[in-house]
Structure 1
Amino acid sequence: MSQAVNVGDKLPEVVIGPFDAEALSRYAQISGDDNPLHLDDAIAAKIGLAAPPVHGMKLLAAFEPMLANWRDDLMLVGLSAKFIQPVLRGEVVKLSGRVLRASESEIFVRLFAHGAARAPGIIGEATLRPVDRTSPR
């Protein structure tokens, strides 16, 4: 690795969104997740939400470029998450992370996605390994 990664290192915060109805509709078409909860204000209101929630997988996918921009000498080999609470259409989302474990062979990062609510919408985990620049692609 070019520069040491240490336990406690914070990743630069990334802001994404807000996502509008058109963005959620496009994502629904591309992903195949056309659950009306993500697209219909009336359905979201029926379960007590002020707006439809952004697709959780759309938010989870935003961590990959965040991690790649942080360290291009590391490759993402594992990504998982728990969806804690909805992030709603129209909210700005702040992505952040902190290194929990670090060795020469593997880095483990805790990830967070916060919408407007105090608690995170997503708590995730990423495992990264050094890029092998010596092997042919």
Structure 2
Amino acid sequence: MTAPADLAAETFTMARPGTELPTLTVPEVTDGTVVRYALASRDDNPLHLDAAAAREAGLPGTIVHGMYAMALLGRLVTGWAPQPRLISLKASFVASVPVGDSMTCTGTVTDVVGTGGGRHAHVRLAVRRGDGVLVVRGRAVVAVGEHPATAADALPGSAVERPPGRSAL
């Protein structure tokens, strides 16, 4: 598994719309990985563990647990920002990943909003299998630091006025 690139501890605090999280790649999800995940999660659904059962259900073979892919999104985000900064993580499962395939996790900051004394980055997340098909889409909210006390970054309705033509985050 390729881990996110080492970043300075403060990089996530400088998040802006368009900031890309370091990509997380799993070159191959093996049978062993799926079995270990099944044991740890207590999810022993035959679609993940029994090729004959998976084929009987119309699949070409066993598939990776969707929650494993979601866990990789959590790892992606917490590889970028410390875990205590993760406020929420949501995901939707779109397609399956055959065991033996690769998975690539990406994230992009879509918005940074001010809160009462802080800032939150909204991050769009995705997991794609080796052929590029989207398998999980997600969203995360991450606390990225104290809200700067500048006129340009002031929250709407705050006592600080913005220069003409400048909008809030």
- TM-score class, shorter-chain normalisation, is 0.7 to 0.9
Task: Rate the CA distance shift 1:43–1:78 in 2: closer, same or farther, 3 A.
Answer: same
C-alpha deviations, 1:79-121, integer Å up to 9, x for none?
Answer: 1111000011101100001111113421110110011233200
Contact 1:73/1:131, CA 8 A, preserved across alignment: no
Q: Which residue of 1 aligns with 2:85?
A: 75
2:126 corresponds to 1:118:
no
Write the letter of the residue equivalent to 1:108.
H
2:57 corresponds to 1:47:
yes
Write the letter of the residue equivalent to 2:128.
H
C-alpha deviations, 1:36-58, integer Å up to 9, x for none?
Answer: 11111112212332221111111
Write the letter of the residue equivalent to 2:17.
V
Question: Which secondary structure does the structure 2 equivalent of 1:98 belong to?
Answer: strand
TM-score by length of 1: 0.85
2:115 corresponds to 1:101:
no
Q: How does 1:5-84 map to 2 (within 5 A)?
A: 5-72=15-82, 75-84=85-94
Higher relative contact order (CA 8 A, sep 6+): 1
1:74 CA drift (Å): 7.0
Contact 2:120/2:145, CA 8 A, preserved across alignment: no
Task: Rate the CA distance shift 1:74–1:99 in 2: closer, same or farther, 3 A.
Answer: farther
Question: Which secondary structure does the structure 2 equivalent of 1:103 belong to?
Answer: strand
Structure 1 regions of 5+ residues with no counterpart? Answer: 133-137
CA RMSD of aligned residues (A): 2.2
Write the letter of the residue equivalent to 1:129.
A
Question: Which secondary structure does the structure 2 equivalent of 1:66 belong to?
Answer: helix
TM-score by length of 2: 0.70
Write the letter of the residue equivalent to 2:62.
P
Question: Which secondary structure does the structure 2 equivalent of 1:121 belong to?
Answer: strand
